């Protein structure tokens, strides 16, 4: 029997996260991710995912210093300045992360290596964005945390409390999500006893694909196309009658509301207040769910994380080009946790393929 796309095939045992698609629950190391996003910091959640426990006060202080974005090595800055403008942001992030792969990274990945690479990601993304905008890159501030520094390096201003918490909520909610395509790529590479940098480069290459990392941008385009509430129903009906997918709705795993979308909806409303774009998103959500129940009553299709990720990112005035890199900067935590777990109980991945070609005789 062939399992196309390995759907339904269990290939590892993990203690990092669990997705309950029927109940709409996402669990990080035993804790409800939705609650973590609303009550914990990025650093606390990253420590939990990487170490398996919540940090004690002194552990958290040390970890905050380790994971805080820092100035990039001179050679990395030079590489960023010399990469051609035609490269998209994910290609840049993948290329620059791969440049960290010096000989000190071995087949036995360490937590210290992981944290160093996680800390580099937001600085790389912000450095590149400023260069493309014709601006000089900004170095991170020592008194700001991971999320605040990311915002600051992009915008040259500190985020408000509402902006910081909205971005932090999003980055916590996408930090880890089971055996998705990019995590699988990372673990496959790690299973060959390659190094952590190679595993993360594999994951970033996988995340670059539009079927995995590009959905928030498509949601933004949909909302821009609709423009006003009175256009929503006709636009959505037209899509459904053509058999096209409504971006931001439905998920391969969740059979009910995506728990990440619920938390992001709350933060989108908080950050934007009565903003017309958020009002439009709320209206489109209600209309789309009603129409999906009408057109596809046999399927359970609800808002997924990409829908309100787009709303939050737009409220923060983040360009669409930043959506997937921002997602990846956070998912680096999950990828690193999986690579560390793979290394502790490793077996190389070697699935089989069913040959369906011809057999040609030379006689």
Catalytic residue among 148, 168, 176, 306: 306
Q: How far apart are the first and last CA of the chain?
A: 33
Q: Which residue is listed with tokens 């594999």?
A: 202
Distance CA 81, CA 100 (A): 16
Residue with tokens 């256009």: 231
- At 220, list the tokens: 């933004």
Give the DSSP H/E element, type plus range, for residue 335. Answer: helix 323-344
Is 212 considered catalytic here? no
Sheet with 17-20, strands from edge to edge, namely: 17-20, 25-28, 31-32
Q: Decide if 308 contacts 281 (C-beta within 8 A).
A: yes
Burial class, 134, CB count within 10 angstroms (exposed 0-12 / middle 13-18 / buried 19+): exposed
CA angle 79, 81, 87 (to 5 degrees): 85
306 is catalytic: yes
Q: Which of 43, 148, 176, 251 is catalytic?
A: 251
Give the active site residues: 251, 306
């Amino acid at each position: 029997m062939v399992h196309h796309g390995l759907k339904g095939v269990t290939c590892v045992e993990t203690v990092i996260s669990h997705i309950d698609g029927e109940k709409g629950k996402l669990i990080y190391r035993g804790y409800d991710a939705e609650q973590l996003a609303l009550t914990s910091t990025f650093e606390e959640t990253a420590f939990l995912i990487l170490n398996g426990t919540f940090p004690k006060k002194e552990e958290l202080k040390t970890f905050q210093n380790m994971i805080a974005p820092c100035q990039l090595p001179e050679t990395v800055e030079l590489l960023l300045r010399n990469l051609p403008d035609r490269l998209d942001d994910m290609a840049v992030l993948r290329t620059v992360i791969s440049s960290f792969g010096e000989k000190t990274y071995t087949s036995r990945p360490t937590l210290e290596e992981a944290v160093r690479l996680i800390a580099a990601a937001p600085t790389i993304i912000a450095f590149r964005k400023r260069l493309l905008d014709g601006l000089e890159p900004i170095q991170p501030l020592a008194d700001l945390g991971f999320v605040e520094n990311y915002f600051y390096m992009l915008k040259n201003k500190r985020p408000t409390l509402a902006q910081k918490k909205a971005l932090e909520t999003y980055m916590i909610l996408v930090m880890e999500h089971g055996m998705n395509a990019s995590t699988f790529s990372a673990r496959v590479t790690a299973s060959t006893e390659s190094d952590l940098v190679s595993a993360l480069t594999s994951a970033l290459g996988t995340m670059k694909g539009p079927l995995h990392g590009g959905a928030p941008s498509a949601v933004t385009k949909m909302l821009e196309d609709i423009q006003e509430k009175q256009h929503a129903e006709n636009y959505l009906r037209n899509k459904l009658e053509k058999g096209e997918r409504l971006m931001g709705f439905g998920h391969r795993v969740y059979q009910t509301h995506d728990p990440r979308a619920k938390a992001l909806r709350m933060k989108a409303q908080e950050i934007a207040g009565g903003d017309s774009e958020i009002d439009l998103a709320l209206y489109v959500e209600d209309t789309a769910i009603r129409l999906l129940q009408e057109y596809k009553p046999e399927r359970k299709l609800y808002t997924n994380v990409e829908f309100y990720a787009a709303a939050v990112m737009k409220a923060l005035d983040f360009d669409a080009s930043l959506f997937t890199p921002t997602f990846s900067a956070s998912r680096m935590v999950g990828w690193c946790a999986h690579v560390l777990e793979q290394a502790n109980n490793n077996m190389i991945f070697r699935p089989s393929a069913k040959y369906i070609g011809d057999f040609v005789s030379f006689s």
